[in-house]
């Protein structure tokens, strides 16, 4: 229960996930969960960046091709 509570706090969650994922004294089950969570975080950040780039490109190209005369 404390694991999920700590992973809900911003900044602390990233630090604790790295400690749990790569710490030598961590339960293997918790270490695997932390590694999987870190992987999902990276996937989410990558998808968010791709989404922002695609939407931003669409908006800027739409603004460039339209004329307000």
Under 8 Å CB-to-CB from 23, ≥6 apart: which residues? 31
Q: What tokens appear for 53 in the block? A: 């780039």
**pTM across the whole model:** 0.79
31 CB contacts (<8 Å, ≥6 apart)? Answer: 20, 21, 22, 23
User: Tell me: the pLDDT tens digits for 11-46?
Assistant: 999 999 999 999 999 999 999 999 999 999 999 999
Q: CA 37, CA 31: separation in Å to the nearest integer?
A: 10
H helices within the chain, ranges in order? 2-7, 12-22, 28-65
């Amino acid at each position: 229960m404390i694991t999920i509570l700590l992973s809900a706090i911003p900044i602390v969650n990233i630090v604790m996930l790295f400690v749990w994922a790569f710490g030598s004294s961590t339960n293997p089950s918790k270490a695997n969960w932390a590694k999987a969570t870190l992987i999902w975080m990276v996937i989410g950040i990558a998808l968010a960046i791709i989404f922002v780039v695609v939407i931003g490109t669409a908006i800027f190209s739409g603004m460039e091709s339209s004329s307000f005369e």
